[in-house]
Amino acid sequence: MTETKGNRDRDSRRKFLRNFGAAGTSLLIAGCSTKESNAKSGEKIKVLNQNQQLVEVDVSDISPATMQADKKYLKKKGRTGIPGRKFVMVVDLAKCKNARQCMKACQGAHQLKPEQHHINVLEMEDEKSNSTYFMPKPCQHCDNPSCVTVCPVDATFKRSDGIVLIDNERCIGCRFCIAACPYSARTFNWTEPRDAEKYKDVPYDMELNVPQKKGTVTKCAFSADRVREGKLPYCVSACPNGVYYFGDENQDLVTNGTTRETVRLSHLLEDNAAYTLMPELGTKPRVYYLPPRKS
């Protein structure tokens, strides 16, 4: 019985995704055709409404006006970037000692279990010098994010201030974004999140992405909730070794989380031969790395 039910569940998910793909195309077509005719087509499609309910509607009922309520939903607080800002992070690999306090602070803020990471510190091998170094790897908050392009429900999006977020009230768990991300920066909540009972009555905060939800994708949010308050991200503030700089590209200023020293972003990048991960992909990451240096 269990195996049969599991097969039905998988078949239902596949059927839903096929239906939703058809719905996306129909929305575009109907936006033009309904101006010419109000007659019922008899063709039914399934779409998600603003309350995350799967409903069946006639194709001829879909029009730009029908989508107006959904647009209002998309304009809620978390989807609006901070005007005039363009946030950026710089990671100094020469300073990382694998303290992993950045990971601990992030997990505590975002209701993550010990095995879940929005930022992970990896041990890397430098073949030229035959030595190793540590590399923190969060979401790269790309200017051309492939994860946003593939999302069928606008659950993941990029704001005007450079931050890429996930709305887990909108996420349907298709995991297309996970497959599309070349940096392996996203994880899936296969089980109930940590302290689920504790957070069950807490209003959802899109910028903090809490409460987490089973069956949705989660990732680094550049601590959008703290940034809105003029504070440094959780990981940046928690690092004891001054690994992270965070700031505004438009102001050309970034601040070190440990020393609180503010420096020119352009000088920091140019003077230290900064680089981004996989630039050949054209994703245009907003996380820069300063190479490890021999002491």
Q: Would residue 16 count as lying in a domain?
A: yes
Tell me the two tokens of residue 201.
Answer: 């009555």
Expressed in angstroms, the distance from the first to the final Cα of the chain is 62
pLDDT score recorded for residue 39: 60
**Do 189 and 272 belong together in one domain?**
yes
More confident residue, 162 or 23: 162
**Do 97 and 129 belong together in one domain?**
yes
Percent with pLDDT over 90 in the chain: 69
Domain boundary, last residue among 74, 96, 111: 74
Spatial neighbors of 215 by CB under 8 A, at least 6 apart, are: 171, 173, 189
Domain boundary, last residue among 50, 74, 98: 74
* Spatial distance between the Cα atoms of 185 and 139, rounded to a whole number of angstroms: 5
**Do 155 and 277 belong together in one domain?**
yes
**Do 38 and 114 belong together in one domain?**
no
Between strands 120-126 and 131-137, the pairing is antiparallel
Q: Is 5 exposed, middle or buried (0-12, 13-18, 19+ CB in 10 A)?
A: exposed
pLDDT score recorded for residue 45: 60
Q: Would residue 295 count as lying in a domain?
A: no
Give the CATH number, domain containing residue 113.
Answer: 3.30.70.20
Residue 259 DSSP code? T
**Do 264 and 201 belong together in one domain?**
yes
- State the average pLDDT for the chain: 84
pLDDT score recorded for residue 41: 67
**Do 249 and 135 belong together in one domain?**
yes
28 pLDDT band, cuts 50/70/90, is very low
**Do 188 and 284 belong together in one domain?**
yes
**Do 88 and 226 belong together in one domain?**
yes
72 has pLDDT over 80: no
Range of the domain at 105: 83-290
Domain count for the chain: 2
Cα atoms in the Cβ-side hemisphere of radius 13 Å centred on 143: 12
Domain boundary, last residue among 37, 56, 74: 74
88 has pLDDT over 80: yes
More confident residue, 270 or 2: 270
Longest dimension (CA), the chain: 75
Spatial neighbors of 227 by CB under 8 A, at least 6 apart, are: 82, 87, 161, 163, 233
pLDDT score recorded for residue 117: 94
Q: Which has the minimum average pLDDT: 91-105, 194-208, 213-227, 268-282? A: 194-208
Compute φ and ψ for 273, nearest 5 degrees. 55, 50
150 has pLDDT over 80: yes
- pTM (2 d.p.): 0.75
* Spatial distance between the Cα atoms of 171 and 169, rounded to a whole number of angstroms: 6
Q: Which has the minimum average pLDDT: 12-21, 39-48, 208-217? A: 12-21
DSSP three-state, residue 39? coil
Q: What would the mean pLDDT of 220-235 be, rounded to a whole number?
A: 97
Helix, strand, coil percentages (3-state) for the chain, rounded to 5, are 30, 20, 50
61 pLDDT band, cuts 50/70/90, is low
Q: Which has the minimum average pLDDT: 12-26, 50-64, 149-163? A: 12-26
52 pLDDT band, cuts 50/70/90, is very low
**Do 66 and 108 belong together in one domain?**
no
* Angle, alpha carbons 255-285-169 (nearest 5°): 95
